[in-house]
């Protein structure tokens, strides 16, 4: 699958979602023909396609689009990557930051591509645990590095707005592979993502 940029909306999908959201608004007790709601089903249909566009994207193709041979074997970290995703259990957002590192084994990729990989998997109906491992596995499979590390810190609106209603909770997930399974390398990574060097 080729990698391309830009927002795209499938006409058939949009039409189906518009109908569904119009019915949902009515079932919730509102009038979908009220002035303020007339265009809401279309807006939500397009918003949901944007928020789940990761299904139409290939993370490995993105990494391969800027893959370069380079004799570097030191840790490369892209930290504080903003992420926005949708909890698959309640379809409410969760948001936060991803910190991603890898140790090259002959190949590097463009730094922006790491952030795009985070977007590919976060722009889907997700759980944070799976998201963490999907990012790691894509980098592992495509670049064949010596090691990969991913840490995600996120706040979940399904916990903040409903259910337990805890506004200040943050969920942290991590995945380590290869050299990062060694305590010394993992500790260096955690220390670097925790510091403020800039």
Ordered by start, the domain boundaries in the chain are 11-51, 58-194
Query: What is the maximum span of the chain, computed from C-alpha positions, in angstroms?
Result: 63
* Active-site annotation holder among 30, 33, 88, 141: 88
**pLDDT beyond 60 at 72:** yes
Bridge partners of 178, per DSSP, are: 147
pLDDT band at 159 (very low <50, low <70, confident <90, very high): confident
* Active-site annotation holder among 23, 38, 70, 89: 89
**pLDDT beyond 70 at 14:** yes
CATH of domain 58-194: 3.30.1130.10
Distance separating alpha carbons of residues 147 and 105, to the nearest angstrom: 9
Its pTM stands at 0.91
Q: Say what the pLDDT of residue 38 is.
A: 97
Distance separating alpha carbons of residues 111 and 148, to the nearest angstrom: 14
Is 198 annotated as catalytic? no
Which range (8-22, 25-39, 160-174) has the least confidence? 160-174
Is 99 annotated as catalytic? no
Q: Look up the CATH superfamily of 11-51.
A: GTP cyclohydrolase I, N-terminal domain (1.10.286.10)
Q: Over pLDDT 90: what percentage of the chain?
A: 86
Distance separating alpha carbons of residues 117 and 137, to the nearest angstrom: 11
Q: Say what the pLDDT of residue 18 is.
A: 98
Is residue 169 within 8 Å of residue 159, measured between CB atoms? yes
Average pLDDT over residues 135-147: 98
Residue with tokens 């698959």: 88
Is 69 annotated as catalytic? no
Is 90 annotated as catalytic? yes
Q: How does the average pLDDT of the chain come out, rounded?
A: 94
Is 129 annotated as catalytic? no
76-87 and 93-103 strand pairing: antiparallel
Is 89 annotated as catalytic? yes
Q: Say what the pLDDT of residue 4 is.
A: 54
* Active-site annotation holder among 49, 87, 99, 126: 87
Is 87 annotated as catalytic? yes
Helix (H, G, I), strand (E, B) or coil at 75: coil
Q: Say what the pLDDT of residue 195 is.
A: 84
pLDDT band at 198 (very low <50, low <70, confident <90, very high): low
**pLDDT beyond 70 at 36:** yes
């Amino acid at each position: 699958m080729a990698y391309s940029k830009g927002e795209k909306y499938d006409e058939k999908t949009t039409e189906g979602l518009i109908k569904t959201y119009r019915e949902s608004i009515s079932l919730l007790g509102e009038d979908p023909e009220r002035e303020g709601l007339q265009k809401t089903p279309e807006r939500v249909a397009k918003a949901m396609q944007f928020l789940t566009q990761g299904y139409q994207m290939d993370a490995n193709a993105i990494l391969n689009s800027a893959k370069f041979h380079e004799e570097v074997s030191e840790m490369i970290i892209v930290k504080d990557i903003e992420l926005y995703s949708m909890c698959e259990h309640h379809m409410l957002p969760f948001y936060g930051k991803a910190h991603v590192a890898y140790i090259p084994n002959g190949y590097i990729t463009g730094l922006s591509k790491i952030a795009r990989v985070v977007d590919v998997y976060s722009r889907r109906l997700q759980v944070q645990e799976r998201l963490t491992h999907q990012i790691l596995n894509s980098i592992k499979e495509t670049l064949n590095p010596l090691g990969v590390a991913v840490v995600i810190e996120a706040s979940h609106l399904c916990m903040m707005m409903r259910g337990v209603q805890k506004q200040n909770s943050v969920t942290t997930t991590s995945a380590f592979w290869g050299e990062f399974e060694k305590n010394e390398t993992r500790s260096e990574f955690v220390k670097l993502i925790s510091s403020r060097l800039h």
